[in-house]
Amino acid sequence: MKFTSIIFFLILFLKCGSSAKEDFSIKIDSNSKKLTNNDSIFLTIKNKKNHIIDSVHFFLNEQKIDQFYSLNKLKLGDHLIKASIYSNGENIDKNTIIKIFADSPPILYTYEIINEFPHDQESYTQGLEFYNDTLYESTGLKGKSTIRKLNYRTGEVYLIKALDDVYFGEGLTFINNKLIQLTWREGIGFQYNPITLEVERSFSYDKSKEGWGLCSDGEKIYKSDGTNLLWILDSKTQKEIENIQVMTNKSTLNKINELEYVNGKIFANTYQFDKEVAVIIDPESGMVEGVIDFSGLKDRVNQHSKLDVLNGIAYNKKRQTFFVTGKNWSKLFELKIYQKN
């Protein structure tokens, strides 16, 4: 009987101890249902069973913050809120996530066709970028992946190098007079001599699972991985340093694909089968500032069984025009992009 009583009280003690943590949660008050950088939050603790609370400290991304906190300096996307509660001699941590959205909807853009040029419809285009007025293209699919220099007017291939059959080629960019290319799921990228297309070195990226698109502002490299993240890479080593989350005023933007850096903004294809669109992203905040409607371009190319999505956007600084194509498209389009009325 005595032994049974001990067990009973031990179970009761463990239940009380284990349930205390479940009695607490973080309450976030704000004037907005969807948080933006214009908002502030007020943090309190819900205490279902009125436990005595000796102290509470709040943290945002592991940095201590006040109970009342302005969101004006936060980047967009998900952020971790932690409450460290001291109650009845016990330290209890509770976590929750807040999501910061863009504070305004994207501006809508459309295009004007300036020229149509021939493009190899066997090219599964993954990257497209000008370097010294020469167009470079990377193509994908295992056993068919290449890096090539093109005459954009005629479609003539000046020089082409095939990747080893184990690699699925992805996006490309230039930095420090070097050509950088990704592979899809192999976790490997390559640095080339842009004149000879000879491989000079390889590098690995281990924080993201995949390689999709690349662009550069001349100092940093931006990399997409098929999610809503844009990774910032070290310009010399190509190691992933940090990331930004890409958001609209309504949702997270996923499947960000081929990239191009133009006048302080990132122009990005998105991997979608039902819409021919690209987006304009602020690389500082992750905000989608614009959406470009490329509807109708796909209808102007040869319609065949391998025809795939819009992918490949390059900016020619000298001509101040954009060059756009797609996977297995027979044409390369030179365009002007302008805001819709």
**Which residues constitute the domain of residue 256?**
107-339
Three-state DSSP class for residue 266: strand
Q: What is the mean pLDDT of residues 214-218?
A: 96
Decide: 140 and 169 in contact? Cβ < 8 Å. Answer: yes
Same domain, 82 and 198: no
Query: Residues with Cβ < 8 Å from 284, sequence gap 6 or more?
Result: 75, 244
Q: Does residue 214 sit in the same domain as residue 255?
A: yes
- 127: helix, coil or strand? strand
Across the chain, what does the average pLDDT equal?
91
pLDDT tens by residue, 182-208 = 999 999 999 999 999 999 999 998 788
Q: Are strands 256-262 and 265-270 parallel, antiparallel or unpaired?
A: antiparallel
Q: Are residues 44 and 179 in the same domain?
A: no
CB atoms within 10 A of CB 30: 14
- The token pair at 314 is 């390059």
Assigned token pair, 57: 């400290």
d(CA 70, CA 273): 39
Q: Taking residues 35-42, what's their average pLDDT?
A: 95
Q: Cα separation of 169 and 12, whole Å?
A: 61
**Three-state secondary structure of 18-41:** HHHHHCEEEEEECCCCCECCCCEE
Are residues 148 and 59 both part of a single domain? no
C-beta separation of 124 from 140 below 8 A: yes
Strand segments, DSSP code E, in 74-208 are: 77-87, 90-100, 107-118, 125-131, 134-139, 146-150, 157-162, 169-175, 178-183, 188-192, 199-204
Q: What is the pLDDT of residues 28-37, one digit of tens each?
A: 999 888 999 9
Residues 180 and 133 in one domain: yes
Total number of domains constituting the chain: 2
**CATH assignment of the domain containing 236:** 2.120.10.30
Residues composing the chain: 341
Q: Which of 100, 119, 147 is the last residue of a domain?
A: 100
pLDDT in tens, 53-95: 999 999 999 999 999 999 998 999 999 999 999 998 889 999 9
Give the closest residue to 326 by CA, choosing from 294, 290, 285: 294
pLDDT of residue 17: 46
Tell me the per-residue pLDDT of 248-274, one tens digit each, with 9 for 90 and over.
999 999 999 999 999 999 999 998 757
Q: Are residues 85 and 158 in the same domain?
A: no
The pLDDT tens digits of the residues spanning 158-170 come to 999 999 999 999 9
- Residues 146 and 96 grouped into a single domain: no
- Its pTM stands at 0.89
> Domain check: are 154 and 257 in the same one?
yes
C-alpha closest to that of 80 among 94, 90, 66: 94
Asked if pLDDT for residue 19 goes beyond 80, the answer is: no
What is the structure's pLDDT at 209? 84
Please tell me whether residues 96 and 119 are part of one structural domain: no
**CA pseudo-torsion sign 118, 120, 126, 128:** negative
- In this structure, the answer to whether residues 81 and 117 fall within a common structural domain is no
DSSP conformation class of 11 = H
Within this chain, do residues 96 and 125 fall inside the same structural domain, yes or no? no
Q: For the ranges 10-14, 107-111, 113-117, which has the lowest average pLDDT?
A: 10-14
pLDDT > 70: what percent of the chain?
A: 94
Residue 257 phi/psi, 5° resolution?
Answer: -115, -120
- Mark whether 63 and 111 lie in a shared domain: no
CATH of the domain at 76: 2.60.40.10
DSSP secondary-structure letter at 252? B
Write down which residue in 84, 100, 116 finishes a domain.
100
Amino acid found at 318 = K
CA distance 333 to 152: 10
Structure token pair of residue 243: 């990331």
**What would the mean pLDDT of 148-152 be, rounded to a whole number?**
96
User: How would DSSP label each residue in 232-247?
Assistant: EE-TTT--EEEEEE-B
What is the pLDDT at residue 22? 87
45, 79, 100 - which closes a domain: 100
pLDDT at residue 273, as a whole number: 58
Is the pLDDT reported for residue 227 higher than 90?
yes
